[in-house]
Structures are given as C-alpha cells and as structure tokens.
A and B are shown apart, each in its own frame.
Chain A
Amino acid sequence: MKISSVLMLLLPLGVPLLSSDAWAGATANAGTCYEFAETGMMRRGSNGIINYDAVSQTVICPIPVDHTIPAVGSTVTFRVYMFDNNSTSGANISCTGFAYNQNSGQVGMTAAMTSGSGTATFTGVRTATATLSATANTHTYVVQCTIPGGAASGINNVRVS
C-alpha cells in the first residue's frame, strides 16, 4: 500500500482524535485571572495569582475552550488547583464555575469549590460539575473565586472538561 493510501486511512482517524482532545477540556493558568474590582493588590506570577491585599478579593478566570458543545442535560466538570495558607477563621477560598452561551445567557453553575471552612488550610484540587440547561454554537466558561487576604492564598490554574 502506498504512503498516500496509509495517510488517507490515518488522517480521518485523526479527526475524531483531535475532536476528542478538544472535548477533553482546557486549562487556564490563573495568572490570566482578573480582579472583579481592581485593587492592584493581586500579584500574578508564572504559575497563578496570589492575594496580597489584607482582605479577601474576588477574581474571575476565563477558560478559553474551542470544542464540540455538550448536549443539553450533560455535565461539564470544573477543576481548580488552589492553595490557602490563611488559617484565620472564615478566611477560605471559594470558587464557582459558570457556563454561558453565546448570547450571554447563564446555562450552568457549579456547587462551591472551597478550601474548607473555619480555620482550615488547604493545597490541592477541588472539582465540581455544572449541568447544561441549554446549548449553542459557542459556550464560554469562567471560574469566579474569592481569595482571602494575607498573601498566603491563591490559585494556580483552572480547568473545564
């Protein structure tokens, strides 16, 4: 069999694989997150964002995704890698994942992804799912988080799949 025939066989197989890769999700470095209200106290590094303010601040982290849109009623999974070394009572990270359609309509919200409660500290992954109430040619995905102050807490990355 000639090389061109082999390529012809393999390339169509590659299409669903590429499609599957896109479906598998996307991760955004939390350094791309922006503040809900600009304070200038959030510091961004090559591996995320830290709240240097004395009080908690809210950040919004868009996750660029180009993929086949899941059907109505299916779920998408959000994942946040966070670190919270602030042991002050009530000072915890809390994140929610949002899905929007191309007309800005909200089509899904997750349960809270938190670093704990009370004086808890935590470093690691939290995940939660959102069920999609509508579908469209384009969806956008965002994670919104409250990060306690004290320069000890932040987010490394966010993901949707």
Chain B
Amino acid sequence: MDRRSNVWVVLPAAVVLALVAYAWGRRSATSSGGSAVVSTPETGERLAALEREVQGLRAVTRRLSATQREAAGAPPATVAVSQSASVARDGHERSEEALADDDGHEPLDPAAEERQARETENAFWAELQARVDAEVVDAAWRRETEPVITKVISAQLSPEVRVDQVFCASSLCRVTLSHPSWPVIPSDRLGRFALNRESLGSMEMQLDGRKAGESTLYFLRQAPTD
C-alpha cells in the first residue's frame, strides 16, 4: 500500500477508534462516579457536549493529517500536533476554537448555550421539586427530621435566614428559606452550617438559589458511600 492509500485507510480508522474509545471512557467514568440521585440528565445537553467533543477530535485528526502531508512534502501544517492534542483535552472553549478554525462549522452561539444551560438547570430543580411532591411521606422520618432541620438552620443561619417551610417526604426534604438582606447565602455561612449540621450530616444537600433573597434547600436522604 503506498503512502496516499495509507492516509485514506488509516484516517477513517483513527477517527472511528477515537470515537469508540471516547465513548467507552466517558461511559466508564460516568458509571464509576457513584449513584446519581437524578438518573435522567438532559439528553440535549449531553448531546451538545458530545458533539463538541467529536468535533474537537475531528479537528485533531485533520491536523494530524496535515502534519503527515507536510512530512510528505505538501505545504506546511499551521498547528503543531502537541497543540492539537491539548484542544480536545481542554474541553468546550478550545474545542470551539478548533471548530471555528478548521471545521467550517459555526461555534455554538454563547447566548444559546447559556439559555440551554439555564433550561437544563431549571429542569433539574423542577424534577427535584416534583419528586418531593410525589413521594409518599415516611411519617416517622418526617417527625424526626423536620424539627432538627428547623433547629439547626435557625442556630447556624439566623437571624439573616428565616425558615419559611420544611417538608420531608421519604427520601428527601425541601426547606424554603428567605433572606431579604442577602441575595444569596454567603459561602462562609453556608460552610459553617454544613460543618455543624448535626444529624443532618448524613444527607447530601442541594441549594437552589436562583431567586435573590430566597433559597430552597434540599436534603437528600442517603448514607455516605464508604
């Protein structure tokens, strides 16, 4: 097989193998990350991220091809191989550079990306909210947990934070907080609360701070993974 034939066989093979390896690595990394509390991440978001990664890999392959052409006496490549490798490794921003420079594809509109991220986040909170409302209440756990939540939050975050409502279902609790003097709960106070939450420490927390002056805190009932 001459050099020209090599290029057309090896290049597609490299792209296919890279994509398979990437998909395998991504799947294994995800599966080793522990059990997801929310099991259905937004498909659109994932596809968009995957597409960016694929385009980045294609750009790398194209640059490698250019390097080989250069070695064969064709016009010099403009980007070094080592730089190409770092493009895909760094993720979104530089992958988009690669898209704009080499692929002829338009990079995603930043405003659209932001909008998509916001929608994904909203969907996450809506799902959590719906889960609390849909669950059958574990009455014993509720009786035991709700007073502790009120007590600990009051002790650690008052007077700036007021507990408006506490509701525990069976696998999680939702706590509605208002803090008119703070747009968001400061990280130092949140940290102090996190380190002094007594029996609530057995639960993961999620803080929905999308509204200024108000927050919704979720406690997810689960044992530590160790």
Interface residues in chain A, defined as those with a beta carbon under 8 Å from any beta carbon in chain B:
1-2, 4-5, 8-9, 11-20, 22-24, 36, 58, 60, 66-77, 94-96, 98, 104-106, 108-114, 125-131, 133-137, 144-146, 161
The distance from the CB of B173 to the nearest CB of chain A, in whole angstroms, is 13
Are B35 and A71 interface neighbours, CB within 8 A? Answer: no
Known: A8-B68, A19-B25, A144-B191. A110 touches B13 (CB 8 A): no
Instruction: Report whether over half of chain A's contact residues are helix, strand or loop; otherwise say mixed.
Output: mixed
Are B49 and A71 interface neighbours, CB within 8 A? Answer: yes
Are B34 and A129 interface neighbours, CB within 8 A? Answer: yes
B88: which of A15, A75, A98, A134 is its contact (CB, 8 Å)?
A: A15
Are A8 and B11 interface neighbours, CB within 8 A? Answer: yes
A16 and B216 alpha carbons, distance in the complex (Å): 38
Interface residues in chain B, defined as those with a beta carbon under 8 Å from any beta carbon in chain A:
3, 6, 10-11, 13-15, 17-18, 21-22, 24-26, 28-30, 32-42, 45-46, 49, 53, 57, 60-61, 64-65, 68, 71, 81, 85, 88-93, 117, 120-121, 123-125, 184, 187-188, 190-192, 194-197, 201-209, 220, 222, 224-226
Are B33 and A76 interface neighbours, CB within 8 A? Answer: yes
A161: which of B33, B81, B123 is its contact (CB, 8 Å)?
A: B33
The distance from the CB of B129 to the nearest CB of chain A, in whole angstroms, is 12
Are B202 and A112 interface neighbours, CB within 8 A? Answer: yes
Are B206 and A127 interface neighbours, CB within 8 A? Answer: no
B201: which of A22, A67, A112 is its contact (CB, 8 Å)?
A: A112
Are B195 and A144 interface neighbours, CB within 8 A? Answer: yes
Max chain B Cβ within 10 angstroms of own Cβ: one of A16, A67, A113, A146: A16
Cβ–Cβ < 8 Å partners of B117 in chain A: 134-136
Are A12 and B45 interface neighbours, CB within 8 A? Answer: no
